[in-house]
């Protein structure tokens, strides 16, 4: 038995003072409504409704239980509404750790564009070239120009781009030392 569903049926029966009216509103049969209320009474170990062929009344225990059920069902509905509201549009503070160069060259252009699209997002950006402990320092995102070695297995690394690397030398260096043929020649 789904206790929450049975609570909802019980509340509807009490509100309508009728099994058949509750069944009609819920789109289920009167016998199904009656069974759910009976199962709920067995579950809580008390008679919640007094039934006769002509009347339906709530017992003293049933009235107290009804009040709690109404509050519980309201709280659940409120929690579900809150989740859907929070998922509707992103909001909050996004804490980003990024190295200085990338932050100045790329994030400085990307953040204003992002904020136009999502005005309820605020940014807390730390531009620092030292490796940071994302978890203990409370960062949501870290952007690094490096091989993604993750110290914490709960972190997820994604490659978002490639930066070509070049070795450059001045003509004077090449005249003095010659053109290197391998990385070992650079030593």
Cβ contacts of 41-49, under 8 Å, gap ≥ 24: 43/1, 43/3, 43/6, 48/10, 49/10, 49/13, 49/14
CATH top-level class of 92-143: alpha beta
| Predicted confidence band of residue 184 (pLDDT cuts 50, 70, 90) | confident
Kind and range of the H or E run holding 94: strand 92-98
Q: 16 with 27: CB under 8 angstroms?
A: no
25-77 pLDDT per residue, tens: 888 999 999 999 999 999 999 999 998 878 899 999 999 999 999 999 999 98
- SS3 at position 154: coil
Rounded Cα distance between 146 and 168, Å, is 20
Question: For the chain, which residues make up each domain, given as ranges?
Answer: 3-87, 92-143
67-89 pLDDT per residue, tens: 999 999 999 988 888 887 777 67
Report DSSP state, residue 103.
Answer: I
104-156 pLDDT per residue, tens: 888 888 999 998 988 888 989 888 887 777 777 888 888 887 766 666 667 77
Residue 67, Cα to own-chain centre: how many angstroms? 31
Q: 127 with 98: CB under 8 angstroms?
A: yes
3-87 and 92-143: same fold?
no
- Give the pLDDT of residue 151: 62
The domain defined by 3-87 carries CATH number 3.40.50.1220: no
Count the Cβ atoms, other than its own, within 10 Å of residue 120.
9
98-109 pLDDT per residue, tens: 888 888 888 888
Examine the pLDDT at 20 and tell me if it is beyond 80.
yes
Counting Cβ atoms within 10 Å, is residue 141 exposed (0-12), middle (13-18) or buried (19+)?
exposed
Q: Which two tokens stand for residue 121?
A: 């997002």
């Amino acid at each position: 038995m789904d206790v929450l569903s049975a609570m909802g049926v019980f509340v509807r029966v009490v509100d309508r003072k009728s099994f058949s009216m509750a069944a009609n509103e819920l789109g289920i049969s009167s016998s199904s409504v009656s069974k759910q209320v009976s199962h709920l009474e067995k579950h809580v170990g008390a008679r919640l409704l007094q039934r006769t062929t002509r009347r339906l009344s709530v017992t003293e225990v049933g009235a107290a239980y009804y009040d709690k059920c109404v509050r519980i069902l309201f709280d659940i509905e409120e929690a579900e509404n809150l989740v859907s509201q929070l998922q509707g549009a992103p909001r909050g503070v996004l804490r980003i750790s990024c190295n200085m160069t990338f932050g100045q060259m790329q994030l400085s252009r990307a953040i204003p564009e992002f904020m136009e699209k999502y005005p309820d997002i605020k940014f807390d950006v730390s531009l620092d070239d030292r490796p940071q402990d994302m978890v203990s320092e409370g960062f949501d995102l870290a952007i690094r120009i490096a091989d993604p070695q993750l110290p914490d297995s709960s972190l997820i690394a994604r490659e978002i781009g490639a930066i070509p690397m070049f070795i450059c030398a001045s003509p004077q260096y090449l005249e003095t030392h010659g053109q290197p043929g391998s990385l070992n020649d650079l030593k």
